[in-house]
DNA sequence: GGTGAAAGGTCATTAAG
DNA sequence: CTTAATGACCTTTCACC
């Protein structure tokens, strides 16, 4: 069901130095290269590893402002058409339906506070959305991480 | 300052098929291999590409419950000791200081709703935290994405 | 374990800002 | 003049059978 210590060490190693290959991993972990390959294959097919795509930093692209916006949805509209509307806005990085009276929480980025206003205007410019409440992120105290969780799952 | 169309197409290609190499990218994009390498190096050193680490799916590790928790911080404590406390909890995937009266917003995962209670108890078991308000994510309407933003930045 | 194939580096040339 | 792209060559290293 879950993962073991070798899986966790393998993932930590790849997170640390993503460009090293399977052979190099086997040397660092003192196991056969076939073992590393088998572990990686299993982790991938089980969905633990989604992929090795490039991680983009929105701030480096000029989108230095992050905000969390809670949307109140009109009951007459479902979530899906609203989600479809949000999906068309590039600055909406993710969106979740949350507990409460038909609400959505989404993460939005913008080039500046003024630009954030433009993005929010575009978000709420849809009749299914009744109200939006915006929370601006001032500082990133803990950047997105999963490694501690991997270690936790292995123990 | 920003990126151009070739950068965007390169990032989209790598996001789509992460396992292809530099040479394959150059063939797909009809440019020289050195060009692809130079673009990737520049994107990396400018911080646009943070890395190529494995993307871990917490749900596949058994942490299927996601929650957003807003913490109210006692003014006598700074944010930093609270952030240090949160950093020790593996289930806290990220944390931001947000606008408002000394608050923090963090993303938390747990194995179940019952397990979420345990995690939140651990989070609030710190004297610098006055109050916690929890929002549970019911469904992922838009999974985390950056590609639309990359296209936006390139245009 | 062996083999075909890439990665990564350097170079000279050419083009464009 | 500076920056970028190109094709060529080379050596090391890896992935796959």
Residue B68, beta-bridge partner list: B107, B135
Structure tokens at A78: 């479902």
> Quick check: B142 and B73 in contact, CB under 8 A?
no
How confident is the model over A108-122, as a mean pLDDT?
A: 97
Structure tokens at A28: 């660092």
Instruction: Check if residue B115 sits with its Cβ under 7 angstroms from strand C.
Output: no
Is B49 within 8 Å of A61 when comparing Cβ atoms?
A: no
Residue A66, beta-bridge partner list: A109, A137
Is A94 within 8 Å of B142 when comparing Cβ atoms?
A: yes
Give helix B5-16 / helix B33-45 axis angle, nearest 10°.
90
Instruction: Check if residue B38 sits with its Cβ under 7 angstroms from strand C.
Output: no
Measured CA to CA in angstroms, residue B81 lies from B78, B98, B108 at distances of: 6, 16, 18
Which of B48, B94, B137 has its CB closest to that of A96?
A: B137
Residues 3-62 of chain A whose Cβ lies under 8 A from any Cβ of chain B: 3, 11, 14-15, 18-19, 46-62
> Quick check: A65 and B124 in contact, CB under 8 A?
no
pLDDT tens readout for residues A62-111: 999 999 999 999 988 888 999 999 999 999 999 999 998 779 999 999 99
Classify each residue of B34-49 as buried b or exposed e, where b means 16 or more C-beta atoms within 10 Å of its C-beta.
eebeebbeebeeeebb
Is B55 within 8 Å of A50 when comparing Cβ atoms?
A: yes
Structure tokens at A87: 């999906």
Q: Which spans in B2-154 are helix H?
A: 5-16, 22-29, 33-45, 79-87, 113-124, 147-154
High-pLDDT (> 70) share of chain B, %: 99
Ordered domains of chain B (ranges, CATH) = 5-54 (1.10.10.10), 58-136 (3.30.70.920)
- Specify the pTM: 0.92
Distance in angstroms (rounded) separating the CA atoms of residues B11 and B148? 11
Structure tokens at A144: 């997105």
A142 Cβ under 8 Å from any chain B Cβ: yes
pLDDT of residue B137: 97
pLDDT of residue A1: 64
pLDDT confidence tier of residue B1, bands split at 50, 70 and 90: low
Neighbouring C-alpha atoms within 13 Å toward the C-beta of B32: 3
pLDDT tens readout for residues B85-105: 999 999 999 999 999 877 999
Which residues of chain A does B48 touch, with a Cβ-Cβ cutoff of 8 Å? 56-57, 60-61
């Amino acid at each position: 069901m879950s993962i073991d210590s070798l899986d966790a060490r393998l993932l930590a190693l790849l997170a640390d130095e993503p460009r090293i290959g399977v052979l190099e991993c086997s040397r660092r972990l003192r196991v056969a290269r076939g073992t590393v390959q088998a572990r990686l294959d299993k982790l991938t097919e089980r969905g633990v590893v989604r992929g090795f795509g490039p991680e983009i930093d929105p701030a480096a692209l000029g989108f230095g402002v992050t905000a969390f916006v809670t949307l109140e949805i009109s009951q007459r509209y479902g979530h899906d058409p609203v989600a479809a509307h949000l999906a068309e806005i590039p600055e909406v990085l993710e969106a979740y339906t949350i507990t409460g009276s038909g609400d959505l929480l989404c993460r939005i980025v913008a080039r500046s506070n003024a630009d954030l206003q433009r993005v929010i205007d575009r978000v709420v410019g849809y009749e299914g959305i009744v109200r939006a409440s915006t929370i601006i992120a001032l500082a990133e105290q803990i950047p997105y991480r999963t490694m501690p969780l991997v270690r936790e799952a292995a123990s």
